[in-house]
Amino acid sequence: MVEWTDFERATIQSVFEKMDYDDVGPAALSRCLVVYPWTQRYFGNFGNLYNAAAIQGNPMVAAHGKTVLHGLDRAVKNMDDIKATYAELSVLHSEKLRVDPDNFRLLADCLTIVVAARMGADFTADVQGAFQKFLAVVVSSLGRQYH
Amino acid sequence: MLTKHEKELIAKIWDKMIPVASDIGAECLLRMMTTFPGTKTYFAHLDIRPGSPHLRSHGKKIVLAIAECSKDISSMMVTLAPLQTLHAYKLRIDPCNFKLLCHCILVTLAAHMGDEFNPVAHAAMDKYLSAFAAVLAEKYR
């Protein structure tokens, strides 16, 4: 069981409440595909990922980015049992999608940087600490059902 | 592998950080120690509370070293030789921590530069910092 302080709970709710999912989702996923190009291996049917501009303008990437970010909502609403919340999704990513679980960490890092860019000075060290702790739990849960 | 354009971009970004090296450096260290508490174990000899002069002076050293190197990336092995020796024989910081600091440097740059820290700049900077960290760890064994 993960122990959350009041500050951490409040921070996570606040960061996600203020987030523009339609902006941050696509930004985080496209950034991941640009900064870590090997992640493109999972998106063979997404069309043109030839360069940064193509990736950032790709509508399939944008749509998928929103889907992934909304997937985090479940954890935001269920902070006390994130492991159980993602059990099914973990199986999906392992058995069907066959995604290397290290990629969850790469995407989480890109998401952190996008949120930092949007929030600026409001993304203090303490807020970053809480946000990254939350993402670390999500990442661990998604990798839990890999055998 | 850094293109010529990426090297120029990296040098330009770090050039802007030099006048605010203490602020930026302190912020990077604070972010790292808050997010990855294990890293605090290397700073038992310093006052690492937010705003402390130790954090600022130590942060400044780190930022200036990274900025200096960015002016001539191809000469990294030569420029970093003394720091390689320092980290390998005296500091002996586990190199896994370099990644953690690099990540916090990227977060700091993003928080200060906003949209200007776009995916292309991020990718270039990540590559540069990874190379820097790898060179720094070269003399470990």
Domain count, chain B: 1
pLDDT value for B114:
97
pLDDT value for A1:
78
ipTM over cut 0.90:
no
DSSP one-letter string for chain B: ---HHHHHHHHHHHHHHGGGHHHHHHHHHHHHHHH-GGGGGGGTTS--STT-HHHHHHHHHHHHHHHHHHTTGGGHHHHTHHHHHIIIIII---THHHHHHHHHHHHHHHHHHGGGS-HHHHHHHHHHHHHHHHHHTTT--
Q: How confident is the model at residue A147 (pLDDT cuts 50, 70, 90)?
A: confident
Query: For residues B60 and B83, what is the distance between their CA atoms, to the nearest angstrom?
Result: 15
* pLDDT (tens digit per residue) in A6-56: 999 999 999 999 999 999 999 999 999 999 999 999 999 999 999 999 999
* pLDDT (tens digit per residue) in A70-113: 999 999 999 999 999 999 999 999 989 989 999 999 999 999 99
Residue with tokens 């690492």: B48
Partner-chain residue, chosen from A56, A116, A129, that has the shortest CB–CB distance to B119:
A56
For residue B24, the distance in angstroms to the closest alpha carbon of chain A comes to: 12
Judged by phi (left if over 0) then psi (alpha if -120 to 50, else beta), residue A120 lies in: left
Which residues in chain A have Cβ-Cβ distances shorter than 8 Å to B112?
A: 120
For residue A82, the distance in angstroms to the closest alpha carbon of chain B comes to: 20
Q: Determine the structural domain holding residue B103 and report its residue range.
A: 4-140
Those residues of chain B that have pLDDT short of 50 are none
- A34·B120 Cβ contact <8 A: yes
Q: Give the pTM.
A: 0.91
Domains recognised in chain A with CATH numbers: 6-143 (1.10.490.10)
Helix (H, G, I), strand (E, B) or coil at A102: helix
Question: Domain containing B87 — which CATH number?
Answer: 1.10.490.10
